[in-house]
Copies of this chain bind each other. A is one copy, B any other.
Amino acid sequence: MNRLLPQMVVTDDRIMCMLEAMDEVHLTKGELVLKQGRVSNYYLLLDGYMRGYTHDENGAEVTTNFFAGPRAVLDATSFFGRQPSRENIVTLTDCRGYLLTLDVLNKLFHEMPEFREFGRAILVRELVIAQEQKLAHINLSAEDRYRQLVERDAGLMQHAQLRHIASFMGVTDTSLSRIRRELANKK
């Protein structure tokens, strides 16, 4: 379990066994994991990169998330609320992970008390990620946000397009281009 989800609180052999007994789901680069209008699944991503995006009121695409395994990939509102999602999620690389439905998840919660804490820890981690990213927008400049992004996940830079990174950062691709030039000059 530590190997799979290093930052998780729970390390339990039974959970590890249970997961490893499940069938791994493999996805190839470019696959649409979640389509706008459908109800989200719960994908326990082990390896690979994904990108989540929506559209703003002008119809322009907005990247809302990057996912790097190991991490839970889902639209929480859609998955738990059984509502159509407003997000799209697409793979940036080949991916490997486990696919969970709400039924399976609830069954696991019911049959395996230790799994409940595991599920809660995952939700808490998603919450922490969202809050950290929100904070980055509040008190970091675009340049600092970019630096932080690169430093925390250099691998992402190899798989995501700059315009998507720019849109995720909340700046135009023009601005990001300038920021990258400044950074290159400084070194």
**Which residues of A line the B interface, CB within 8 A?**
9, 54, 56, 62, 64, 76-77, 80-81, 109, 116, 119-121, 123-124, 126-128, 130-131, 133-135, 137-139, 167-170
Contacts and interface: CB of A to CB of B under 8 A. Distances in A.
B130 A134 contact: yes
A133 B137 CA distance: 10
Contacts of A126: 127
Contact of A139 (B62, B76, B77): B62
B124 A77 contact: yes
Query: How many of these chains are in the complex?
Result: 2
B124 A170 contact: no
Given A120-B123, A130-B127, A133-B134, A139 B80 contact: no
Given A77-B128, A127-B130, 10 more contacts: A62-B138, A62-B139, A64-B131, A64-B138, A80-B120, A81-B124, A109-B116, A134-B137, A137-B170, A138-B167
A77 B129 CA distance: 10
Contacts of A169: 138
Contacts of A139: 56, 62, 170
